[in-house]
Amino acid sequence: MTALRVEMIRQMELHRLSPNTQRLYVRAVRGLARFYHQSPDRLTARQVQDYLLHLLVERKLSWSTANVATHACRFLYLRTLKWDRLEFELPPCKRQAKLPEILSTEEVERLLTWPQNLKHRAVLMTTYAAGLRVSEVVRLLVTDIDSRRMTIRVSQGKGRKDRYTLLSQRLLSELRPYWREERPGTWLFTGRKPGQPMSLHTARAVYQMAKTGAGITKTGGIHALRHSFATHLLESGVDPRTVQVLLGHRSLNTTMRYLHVTRTHALSVRSPLDLLALPDVPAQP
């Protein structure tokens, strides 16, 4: 490992960047070095800018992926190398206002019923029942399950924030036979290596297998269970502020976007056509 990478990792730790962000930044800077075949500290600001445009225009990476590389370069040169303030910019993102595809309650039932493996079933059920991100569910500790208070503690979720979310009685009844059979130690959902948690890749693969087996054709990965958790709560009458707290959203605006996909919210609105006093359609001869 080069001295530059060691110092960048040290600075990322000092700035309390999450482990996932650190991995993305290191990978982005490594790509920059490989592109020019030299250490990034020998490059000019123009070369860095050209590389970022290369990612977007020539390699046709998504805007979000190129933007991660942009932030990684800013961190490297401003925080690690202490250069004077530089501006690495990308063309504005042309975002498409896409709403997530929400699983119906019937689809969720089919999905959770399909796995025969107790651990796989428990992983999917926990993700949906508590509205967790996949990174949160695989990092759950056995001690995070509080059956007395009926809560699940999420440690250092997105933004390095702790929170509590729901522990469903049905989920608890599913976790108990899983625990008796698997006897997990520290991590609630263990991986293949002893003492290690289940990997993100494994959790995502478990969801895809269950989705295929249940005959669900809607797009999206395991995060669809979190989307569905939020949407189904709102449809059942839970107020958005409570849903925000359970999801760990910093802004209520992030939670409110789920109102756009709730079935009951849409069906409660009457079309203005229904308000007009129009005569009945004449019978056809």
Instruction: Specify the length of the chain in residues.
Output: 285
Is residue 93 one of the residues assigned to a domain? no
Residues of the chain under the 70 pLDDT cut: 93-99, 157-160, 260-285
pLDDT value, residue 89: 76
Tokens of 137: 């569910």
To the query of whether residue 42 is one of the catalytic residues in this protein, the response is no
Whole-number Å distance between alpha carbons of 268 and 66: 41
Residues 6+ positions from 39 with CB-CB distance below 8 Å:
2, 4, 33
Please indicate whether residue 37 is annotated as part of the active site: no
- Residues 173 and 238 placed together within one structural domain of the fold: yes
pLDDT attached to residue 98: 64
Name the β-bridge partners of 165: 152
CA atoms within 13 A on the CB side of 31: 19
Does 79 participate in catalysis according to the annotation?
no
* 229 within some domain: yes
On whether both 145 and 223 belong to a single domain, the answer is yes
Catalytic annotation, pick one of 5, 71, 223, 257: 223
- How many structural domains does the chain have? 2
Tell me, yes or no, whether 41 and 172 share the same domain. Answer: no
Judge if 144 and 263 occupy the same domain. yes
Shared domain for 9 and 53, answered yes or no, is yes
The Cα 51–Cα 29 span in angstroms is 11
Residue 258 known to be catalytic: yes
Catalytic option among 133, 139, 211, 232: 133
Are the C-beta atoms of 72 and 24 separated by less than 8 Å? yes
Burial 144-181, CB ≥16 within 10 A → b, else e: bbeeeeebbbbeebbeeeebbbebbeebeebbeebeee
Residue 204 within any structural domain of the chain: yes
Render 7-27 in DSSP notation, one character per residue.
Answer: HHHHHHHHTT--HHHHHHHHH
Asked about 223 being catalytic, the answer comes back as yes
Positive or negative: CA dihedral 9, 37, 59, 75: positive
Per-residue pLDDT, 172? 93
Q: In this predicted structure, what is the pLDDT of residue 75?
A: 94
Burial state string for 208-231 with b = 16 or more CB within 10 A and e = fewer than 16: eebbeebebeeebebebbbbbbbb
* Structural domain boundaries enclosing 29: 3-80
Residue 270: the pLDDT is 56
Cβ proximity of 209 and 151 under 8 Å = no
**Which candidate in 158, 163, 204, 257 is catalytic?**
158
d(CA 115, CA 273): 47
Of 211, 226, 227, 232, which is the active-site residue? 226
Residue 58 lies in a domain: yes
What pTM was estimated for this model as a whole?
0.68
The verdict on residue 282 lying in a domain is: no
Same-domain pairing of 121 and 231 = yes
Q: What is the pLDDT of residue 92?
A: 73
Exactly one of 119, 121, 211, 249 is catalytic; name it: 249
Residue among 41, 55, 202 nearest 134 (CA): 202
Are 73 and 115 in the same domain?
no
State the catalytic residue, choosing from 51, 128, 178, 258.
Answer: 258
The reply to whether 163 and 226 lie within a common domain is yes
Q: Are 57 and 156 members of one domain?
A: no
Cβ(165)–Cβ(152) below 8 Å:
yes
Whether residue 208 is found in the same domain as residue 114: yes
The pLDDT assigned to 145 comes to 95
Residue 214: DSSP 8-state: T
Q: Tell me, what CATH number does 54's domain have?
A: 1.10.150.130
Together in a domain, 68 and 187? no
Sign of CA dihedral 142, 214, 247, 65: positive
- Does any domain span residue 27? yes
Quick one: pLDDT at residue 191? 92
* Interior angle at CA 203, CA 225 and CA 146, nearest 5: 70
Look up the CATH number of the domain holding residue 165.
Answer: 1.10.443.10
DSSP state of 58: I
Residue 133: active-site member: yes
Determine contact, residues 32/88, Cβ cutoff 8 Å: no
